[in-house]
Amino acid sequence: MTARSDPPVPLDRTKRPAALPLPRVILPPVEKGELSSGLPVRLVEQHRNAQVVISIVLQSGASMDPRGKSGTASLTAALLDAGTGSRDALEISESVEFIGASLNFNAGADATFGTLLTLSRHLGRGIALFADALSNPSFPLQEFERLRSQRLTSLVALKDRAASVASRAFMRVIYGEEHPYGKDPSGTEESVGGLSRDDICGFYGDHYIPANATLIVVGDTTMAEILPILEAELGDWRGGPGRAAAAVSPPPAAPASVYLIDRPDAPQSEIRIGSPALARNSADYFPATVMNRVLGGQFSSRINMNLREKRGLTYGARSSFAFMKQAGPFIVSGGFTGAKTGEAAGQLLLEIDAMHREGVTDEELEFSRKGLIGGFALSFETPYQMAGALQSLILYGLPDDYYERYIPNLASVTSADVMRVARSMLDGRGMALLVVADANGTREGLESLGRGDVVMLDTSGSPMRVSV
């Protein structure tokens, strides 16, 4: 006897599948506590797995680097687990490994983060290691010199990567040398080479203080269990008031500027187009996010379908908003066939202009909103994801109910909202165009775009003396 089945339902592959109903996301409550040191504590219980994530958010990152000393915040964070008053780097590493945990510290443009992942049965031992590195680093001179040397080596290596050269130089072009976002958090060869251990100690003393921090706990624990452990390890952590980064306006972009970094004999080119745009707490975050998904924020975006699928100029091109404390950049980027650089740049500009003039169709709007909503529902499954979500609330000063209102805010974005943001954010006439490529093979194509003279830059993004 053979099993019978219903005949297959015909599938019309010329039409997108119908979207499912909006998901309902119910998030666990965030409990609040505070240590006697004044350090705020935020806890979300997740008991599915026997692990806990501990994360510290310090409201100081590379934007607080002293003038001429870019890389200070980044190197300070990297040195926290390189030795303390009671453990050297090897002891810290072996102790973390012994309990099956992970411990890391890193600094971005706006903030510094430290994260511990540990099994809940080793919670006390893990927190002791985390707190020791955070509140009692010794910054051994030998470790400082070793990590500084590694950083210098990596900065030299970045010059051989066209994508890295393009991204670092582009931020300098659109923000200028004086704006915090115009400096790479990793620093430069000159700035890192000039750093001393005293610079690291000074930065730590100014910024690693409870008044400048929030501690996040997510996982298999309770406030009743963890607060006494945290109090024992960090309750006597002291410091003065934190210092907020002063808001600095980026310089106005020169209309239709084209910048070229010569990479002789390179078969491919890297293109960056964009300008400073929006801060993370902007009221336009949701329409900008919906708009960007249509323009270049997914594989089936306008940009990728045109330049990859239709014209074969790239393996992938994209656009993005980097939402930050201050106005972060909107950037269109990709790697392209060197001989077709001018054509690729022209098509990217046409796609930006089309969005600026016309906005999105009703179908594109619906597809973008549903995709973003569906992805959001998967953003809180692990302790790491939940901790990251809380980091954003704290870092950008978002309201406590932000994520409860996230889906309704996305779902309420209209085509008129997208049009308004496109008109204000996507005027290609005010965007910089930067290319890293073989100048001999790309200069003529860039000049044909009609965006004025091509300005030659060195690999750091500084203008060279000769314009072509």
| pLDDT digit string, tens, across residues 232-262 | 999 999 876 556 656 677 766 655 689 999 9
User: Is 116 a residue whose pLDDT tops 80?
Assistant: yes
- State percent of the chain over pLDDT 70: 93
User: Is 461 a residue whose pLDDT tops 50?
Assistant: yes
What average pLDDT does the structure give for the chain? 93
**Sheet order of strands, 213-219 included:** 31-34, 40-45, 213-219, 51-58, 112-119, 102-107
Please give the class, per CATH, of domain 31-234: alpha beta
| pLDDT digit string, tens, across residues 43-100 | 999 999 999 999 999 999 999 999 999 999 999 999 999 999 999 999 999 999 999 9
Looking at 322-451, which runs of residues are DSSP E strands? 329-337, 432-437
Rounded to an integer, what distance in angstroms lies between the CA atom of residue 249 and that of residue 138? Answer: 37
| pLDDT digit string, tens, across residues 339-354 | 999 999 999 999 999 9
User: Is 3 a residue whose pLDDT tops 60?
Assistant: no
User: Is 284 a residue whose pLDDT tops 60?
Assistant: yes
Q: Do domains 31-234 and 258-467 have the same CATH topology?
A: yes
The stretch 199-222 carries a mean pLDDT of 96
Confirm whether pTM is higher than 0.85.
Answer: yes
DSSP state of 297: S
Q: Encoding tokens for residue 396? A: 């950008």
**Amino acid code (one letter) for 279:** A
The full set of domain ranges for the chain reads 31-234, 258-467
Buried b (16+ CB within 10 A) or exposed e, 168-202: bbbbbbbbbeebbbbbbbbbbbebbeebeeebbbe
Please give the class, per CATH, of domain 258-467: alpha beta
- Whole-number pLDDT of residue 435: 98
Q: In Å, what is the CA distance from 75 to each residue of 71, 139, 172, 252?
A: 6, 10, 20, 31
User: Is 2 a residue whose pLDDT tops 60?
Assistant: no
Which residue's structure tokens are 């072509």? 468
User: Is 356 a residue whose pLDDT tops 90?
Assistant: yes
Q: In Å, what is the CA distance from 213 to each residue of 78, 111, 245, 358, 398?
A: 18, 10, 14, 44, 16
DSSP state of 88: B
Q: List the single range of 10-14, 155-159, 169-173 with lowest mean pLDDT.
A: 10-14
Rounded to an integer, what distance in angstroms lies between the CA atom of residue 458 and that of residue 212? Answer: 37
